Structure 1
Amino acid sequence: MTNIAFFEPISATGRPDEGLRYRPTTFAASLWAPGTLNGPAVCGLAARAVEAEFGNDEFVPARCTIDLFKAARDIVTSTRVRLVRSGGRIRVVDVDVVQHPDGADEVVVARGTTVFLRTSTNPPGQRWQRPADAVTFRAPEIIADDDLSPRFASDAADDTVGEWEKDMANHQNGHRKRMWSRAAPIVAGEKLTPFQRAVVSAESASLVSNWGSTGIGFINCDLTVALSRLPSGERVGVEADVHIEDDGVSVSNAGLYDAEGMFGTALVTAVNNAAAQIDFTTVDTSERYREA
């Protein structure tokens, strides 16, 4: 995946550099509207900035919330981070995703807060967890490293778990959905960290939860990722778990999985965007590695 990334690093003057600013690539393009960026790209850039500045092996990024309150455009983008709190067991970091239009003032298009918690041991006692026989997510069989195509599955009409396959069009229905994907790198020349992989993958909670029988007509305006641990391996699974909708607003929660099991959840709120609804029976996503 050396030639795949959401952004290329540039300096403030436009020269290739280690990257104070970033230029979006075609892989960051959104299906919602021309000239805009997709959620995984924006959320990934925010997560990368927070971890690069304040990540620590003694702390796990237990919660990452990103508000996507303005459509990000296909223009030069940067991030700003600031430490809000640094304590013995908790560290809180804020981030802004900033865009730089030519000849105009900068624009903040997203902001986020990440809470890092110090790792230790679990307290004594027993607590409820979902029984193993009630878990419905099962990762696909071994997939070749160079196979970048995400896999999709949806429940059958009798609520049994359906088979994994590549064709999205076969899963445009009103049933529960799940996906298994290898996230794209955020910045060219860099490998994803487990935290970055979790956030980029978790943004697909909106896809698997808001995608229905006629396509996806809800667009998420935020993402909250909660992690008890970081994922292992190159691929992450996202499975719709809760979805409610009323009066043009939806709330969805999805489970996050690696090959070892569940490691977190993703929560999204979304608003009606039916005017730009995406119909996956007519959109060809096979030409590019996008929204995965």
Structure 2
Amino acid sequence: MPPIAFFERESSDLFVPTRFARSLWAPQTLSGPPVCAIAARAAETEFCPEGFRGARFTIELFKAAREIPTTTRGRMSRDGGRIKVVEVDVVQDFDGVETVVARSTSVFVKETSNPPGDRWIPADDDFRPPTAGSDDLFPWFGSDDENGEPAWDQTIGNHQNARRKRMWTRAVWTVAGERPSPFERAVISGESTSLMGNWGSTGIGFINCDLTVGLSRLPDGPRIGLEAVSHTESDGISTSTTHLYDIHGQFGVGLVTGLNNAAAEIDFTSVDTTDRYTEA
């Protein structure tokens, strides 16, 4: 069975969402990861030359993307010798009106070597991924137990609490037939920063309106880990950050801003997400 993907290609620049791109927030809409993925893919495949690599990805999620054909439009806003900045619009046809549903900025930097000298680096956190096979897409979820120790399993509803969240996940492919790059996988998995920070004792009631992923290197291996680092909320606005990990340790950070969306809060104790992964 071929790997599952968020989109299938209809033409050279038009992509049709699959059911794996569907959102739990509202019917016939897309979740955040596929929108981020299609933008990251366009930026990297169309504008990143050899010797450069993705160091930052930021996306503004303007509107809820619909479950309809989707295209991207990219442009180089800075074409420097060491730094290249690419903007990508994610575009859909809303009842005959061409609509930009999201706009990303990707920063690609030239690979060199670290400067001389020693700098402070934080000690390793307590992120210890579970023993999980790499041949399936089903994520592992983690939260601290009563003693503050990480506890892992694959039942999402078991972690609906007010404790620190973790995730050990493998990204769905962006486009069917195209193996996602490490940059794409970092962006797709990094979008779960919102889940890690905004998921509380009654579900996830904040929806993120953006995502920023900062990368000191690209991830190695099929799975990526996220660990909640900070969360603040006031007057219906939240900020959440995560550390991103692979099998070697931390390689990046994630940041999202959330807005109160309690009217459509997702209660993971009553929503079955298993069918999204069983085909993998």
Tell me whether the two structures share a fold, i.e. TM-score over 0.5. Answer: yes
Report how far residue 127 of structure 1 moved: 1.0
Aligned to 2:15: 22
Aligned to 2:9: 9
Aligned to 1:70: 63
Pairs within 5 Å for 1:43-62? 43-62=36-55
Root mean square deviation of aligned Cα: 1.3
SS at 2:106 equivalent = strand
What are the Cα deviations for residues 205-233 of structure 1, in whole angstroms up to 9, with x where unaligned? 00011000000000000000100000001
Q: Does 1:124 align with 2:116?
A: yes
- CA shift in 2, pair 1:175/1:116, >3 Å: same
Aligned mates of 2:253, 2:50 — CA distance in 1: 21
Report how far residue 3 of structure 1 moved: 4.3
Aligned to 2:79: 86
SS at 2:67 equivalent = coil
Aligned to 1:281: 269
Q: Does 1:147 align with 2:139?
A: no
Structure 2 residue runs without a partner (length 5+): none
Given candidates 137, 144, 167, the residue that maps to 2:127 is 137
Q: Does 1:106 align with 2:94?
A: no
Aligned mates of 1:263, 1:171 — CA distance in 2: 25
SS at 2:213 equivalent = strand
Report how far residue 166 of structure 1 moved: 0.2
Aligned to 1:15: none
Aligned mates of 1:70, 1:271 — CA distance in 2: 13
Instruction: Give the % identical residues.
Output: 59
Aligned mates of 2:134, 2:249 — CA distance in 1: 20
Aligned residues: 278
Query: What TM-score, normalized by structure 1, do the two folds share?
Result: 0.93
Query: What TM-score, normalized by structure 2, do the two folds share?
Result: 0.96
Structure 1 residue runs without a partner (length 5+): 12-18
Report how far residue 289 of structure 1 moved: 3.0
Is the Cα contact below 8 Å between 2:203 and 2:267 reproduced in 1?
yes
Answer 1 or 2: which has greater strand percent: 2
Aligned mates of 2:230, 2:23 — CA distance in 1: 25
Is the Cα contact below 8 Å between 2:137 and 2:172 reproduced in 1?
no
Amino acid in the other structure paired with 1:34: P
Amino acid in the other structure paired with 1:96: D
Aligned mates of 2:98, 2:175 — CA distance in 1: 21
Is the Cα contact below 8 Å between 1:9 and 1:21 reproduced in 2?
yes
Is the Cα contact below 8 Å between 1:252 and 1:269 reproduced in 2?
yes
Aligned to 2:249: 261
Q: Give 4+ residue runs of structure 1 displaced > 6 Å after superposition.
A: none
SS at 1:229 equivalent = coil
Q: Does 1:223 align with 2:216?
A: no
Aligned to 1:241: 229
Is the Cα contact below 8 Å between 2:55 and 2:107 reproduced in 1?
yes
Q: Does 1:201 align with 2:194?
A: no
Is the Cα contact below 8 Å between 1:157 and 1:175 reproduced in 2?
no
Report how far residue 85 of structure 1 moved: 0.8
Amino acid in the other structure paired with 2:129: A
Aligned mates of 2:46, 2:136 — CA distance in 1: 32
SS at 2:174 equivalent = coil
Is the Cα contact below 8 Å between 1:76 and 1:101 reproduced in 2?
no
